[in-house]
Amino acid sequence: MNFISEQKVTPLTRNGEMLSGSEILLRTLLAEGVECVFGYPGGAVLYMYDAMHDNPEFRHILTRHEQGAIHAADGYARSTGKTGVVLATSGPGAANLVTGIATAYMDSVPLVVITGNVSSNLIGTDSFQEADIIGITQPITKHNYFVRKVSDLAQTIQEAFHIASTGRKGPVLIDIPKDVSAAVTEFILPDQVYVPGYTEEVASQSVDKDAVDSLIDALRNSKKPLLLAGGGVIQSGGSDALLDFVNRTRIPVTTTLLGLGAIPADHECWLGMPGMHGTYAANQALLQCDLLIAVGARFDDRVTMRLDSFAPNAEVAHIDIDAAEIGKLVPALIPIVGDAKLVLEQLNRVVPADWEEKKGWNSHLHKLKKDYWFRFKSSDKELKPQYVIEMISRTTGGEAIVTTDVGQHQMWTAQYYRFQKPRSLITSGGLGTMGFGFPSAIGAQIGNPDTTVISVNGDGGIQMCSQELAICSIHNIPVKIVILNNQTLGMIRQWQELIYEGRYSHIDLSGSPDFVKLAEAYGVKGLRAETPAEAENVWQEALSTAGPVLIDFVVSRDELVYPMIPQGQGLQDIILGPDIGGDTDDE
């Protein structure tokens, strides 16, 4: 089967037809513009899957595990900006979605999660494969629904998409009992969505002009301003507005992990990522700045480290669509509740044309960036993981969509891949979910069929969802699956080495399978490299292959991620490592 972008067929949505709940579900999803649903069938959703039978309008990808399905839907959503959709059965099927729901919730990703449940008359009786998925997921969803009447189904689905994709985005769950999916009613698709008690925050439609003027005044009076851009900039579609603002003001900018790509990595004002494994220049800028403008960032502890040493000399302006985030961790002198894109556009309208760059401050930070950029000792014989990421970045020009799992490889990707555009890094930020990287790449590739998608994994995380290789093989989804294979749980080993005095406990992965043979067993091409020369050759072969390829890069077991700030320490306590520092011409 060739991997192609399927033409979306507009569904027949004539009101007044008598349809089952399952048919209403499918038609309403199509009316919402859903291109693909990721799922796994079971008894409670069989009427829904029966409705899919011989339905040419409806595209469904059968994953090999529900967790793979929801991570794929997440990757689709992050990479396209659309709402991802996942479908699972009751009980264990629904419960297998929980990690993925929490992942999306922490990172504000719009998903509609559809679960089946036992028939209404069996709810609460501990019947076979019954679980209170509403109760289980309430803390990790933006909203959830239990559908009691089939006549409510179309409106419920529309409301779910509206809530998931407006304001601060997030996952919404719809639980549908089996009898509701089977019941027949008149199909009525509402003309508009109205959710009592929910208004997509005023912040998403208007901007406080006085607050914006106060921010411009503070910026004008500042000598050492700094911009901290987070994932909210990308979620709002505000990357162009951010770049415009930086170009107008020449203000230095640092981007969080989820904000990478919001501004091109080759922009002279970009300082890199801040925090635990961030650049020396970005962390010094946070320590020294007198005005910090945070936009679409929630001051995660991996960014701030010890709060009492975070931006100690700065007045803080905080722009966020969620009012609950402002002042939650870092007091804000200038709070602006608003959509990041709209606020940045408003700022651009009021920045004076004769704005003067803070040249001394910029020159100081540029030198820090030049002198203390990421470096490692290369070797002709030993393959370093940093070399692999640099090679991938160089050969794709920073234009690929890159997904990662969680661990050392994630940080090396953040450090050494030169992201040039938004929505090009797909990674689990807040929850830090192992097993996320590979299936999220499948979703990203389906959503972006003409873009190179690369999944970077450790040899630990890849084994949590490796069964999804079947999907790549069956549908010829051309993801390039990179494994940085150091035969250990690398980040855990690093912490045990640096913080736990070298007491390595249960981190040995030397019993892992031969990943090349594993790929071949699923019908996917497998390659291996153990030296830089081999890496260059097999990577070029992978890029020139039309279908999916798994590449096992056997890398050094002892390599550590630097810089690093130990947990519980402040930004000033950065450990540069043996290879970073000194005045060189390299960046």
> Which pLDDT score, from 0 to 100, does residue 55 have?
87
Distance from C-alpha of 363 to C-alpha of 269, rounded to nearest angstrom: 10
Q: Which residues sit opposite 284 in a β-bridge?
A: none
> Which pLDDT score, from 0 to 100, does residue 57 have?
87
> If you compute the radius of gyration of the chain from its CA atoms, what whole number of angstroms results?
24
Do the domains 385-561 and 203-371 match in fold?
A: yes
Which has the closest alpha carbon to 464: 36, 74, 100, 84?
100
**Coil, strand or helix at 448:** coil
> Which pLDDT score, from 0 to 100, does residue 205 have?
62
The one-letter amino acid at 262? A
What average pLDDT is seen over the chain? Answer: 94
Tokens 């007091």 belong to: 331
Number of H helices, E strands in the chain: 22, 19
Tell me the pairing of strands 334-337 and 315-320: parallel
Distance from C-alpha of 60 to C-alpha of 49, rounded to nearest angstrom: 10
pLDDT in tens, 159-184: 999 999 999 999 999 999 999 999 99
Q: Does residue 1 carry a pLDDT above 60?
A: no
Q: Does residue 28 carry a pLDDT above 80?
A: yes
Query: What's the CATH number for 203-371?
Result: 3.40.50.1220
> Which pLDDT score, from 0 to 100, does residue 440 have?
98
pLDDT in tens, 58-102: 999 999 999 999 999 999 999 999 999 999 999 999 999 999 999
- 581 pLDDT band, cuts 50/70/90, is confident
Domain boundaries, the chain: 18-198, 203-371, 385-561
> How far is CA 224 from its chain centroid?
31
> Which pLDDT score, from 0 to 100, does residue 2 have?
46
Distance from C-alpha of 91 to C-alpha of 112, rounded to nearest angstrom: 18
> Which pLDDT score, from 0 to 100, does residue 583 have?
44
Q: Tell me what the mean pLDDT of segment 20-25 comes to.
A: 96
> Which pLDDT score, from 0 to 100, does residue 14 have?
62
Contact residues for 434 (Cβ-Cβ < 8 A; gap 6+) = 405, 406, 407, 460, 461, 464
Instruction: Please state, in angstroms and as integers, the Cα–Cα distance from residue 233 to each residue in 239, 240, 345, 417, 527, following that order.
Output: 6, 9, 12, 20, 37
Distance from C-alpha of 348 to C-alpha of 416, rounded to nearest angstrom: 31
CATH superfamily of 385-561: Thiamin diphosphate (ThDP)-binding fold, Pyr/PP domains (3.40.50.970)
pLDDT in tens, 434-469: 999 999 999 999 999 999 999 999 999 999 999 999
Distance from C-alpha of 72 to C-alpha of 85, rounded to nearest angstrom: 9
Q: What is the pTM of this model?
A: 0.95
Helices (H), 293-436: 301-304, 340-350, 359-371, 385-396, 408-416
What residues act catalytically?
A: 66, 128-129, 178, 491
pLDDT in tens, 330-380: 999 999 999 999 999 999 999 988 888 999 999 999 999 999 999 999 888
- 306 pLDDT band, cuts 50/70/90, is very high
Query: What's the CATH number for 18-198?
Result: 3.40.50.970
Q: Which two tokens stand for residue 62?
A: 């059968």
> Which pLDDT score, from 0 to 100, does residue 354 have?
83
pLDDT in tens, 542-553: 999 999 999 999
Residues 511/473, Cβ–Cβ less than 8 Å: no
